[in-house]
Amino acid sequence: KGEEGIDAGGVTKEFFQVLSEDLFDVNSSLWSNRFGNVGNEIVNWFNSDCTWDAQGYELVGLLVGLALYNGVMLDVHFPLAVYRKILGLSLGVEDLFDEELKNGLHQLLTYDGDVENVFCLNFCVTWTVLGEEIEINLQPDGSEIPVTSDNREEYVRLYVKWMLVDSVQKQWDAFEKGFWRVMGNSSLFLFRPDELELLVVGSPDLDFDALEQHTTYEGTYDKDTDCVVNFWLFVKSADRETQIKLLKFVTGTGSAPIGGLSELSFVIQSAGGKSDHLPTSHTCFNTLLLPDYGKDYEKLSDRLGRAILECEGFGLQ
């Protein structure tokens, strides 16, 4: 931890990871906790209350742009709506990431009956600003206009526009300014939103069986070496958090590249004879330097577990 690093690519990846963990911390003022988690996933969505930190959002935009430019994946949890906004695409009900709200609007659109008296809605939205609830008109005198079967599609359009565009316009403008400072004149518009998301964050699907099949070995190791067999036993029996930390330890990122872990060039290299030393890695080359712990699974589990827990931070030469 905190060792000197000569950057041949690996330190760059770790730099982006360490910086993104701070900038995308959902407990910071930049991101909204209005919607909580979506399913089991944390969501980074712009905090409409944060009107005082335009530089923070611009820095986030710069970081995302630089990561894309350098081919480095980030630990960020943007909803797909962010990538659609980057590409200038229109937004609709399906882009909402609040499932309860999305389902409610779907019910409104498909209800076969007296919409006005059943839903009792007007063209306004109740919004919380710095802890105080206020009423926002979606169009002039919206609080006086009831939602009916005839105008419900317009209501939903304006509601989605408020949620994903108007309510966070200042924050988005600053983010977009930083992003396009780096990515101006790029070919991003050739991508679909889901493809752009893969470029930014990689794939969350971690198939370690595929990684094992495509791993190469150097030095005295091969796939049947006792220490290597125990390594894969450790990896496959570990929980997801430990598996992600292992990937970060060896590759500098906790996600799989496009195509999955089978596309990752992963190397396990012998680090001398039998030893009690901790494993090390060359994140520039996705190489794990694994001492020969022989058949001692407990030693490998202890040393490798300690190594991946204390692997963040660096100095530069």
Which positions are catalytic?
Answer: 284
DSSP category for residue 38: B
In angstroms, the Cα distances linking 306 to 65, 191, 278, 303, 310 are: 34, 40, 8, 5, 6
**Identity of the residue numbered 174:** A
**Angstrom distance (rounded) from CA 247 to CA 230:** 17
- 62 contacts 78 by C-beta, under 8 angstroms: no
- 163 contacts 96 by C-beta, under 8 angstroms: yes
What is the end-to-end Cα distance of the chain in Å, rounded?
Answer: 15
By C-alpha distance, which of 12, 18, 7 is closest to 311?
A: 18
- 287 contacts 8 by C-beta, under 8 angstroms: no
DSSP-derived pairing of the beta strands 132-137 and 124-129: antiparallel
**Angstrom distance (rounded) from CA 185 to CA 252:** 29
**Angstrom distance (rounded) from CA 252 to CA 69:** 17
- 315 contacts 3 by C-beta, under 8 angstroms: yes
**Angstrom distance (rounded) from CA 273 to CA 292:** 6
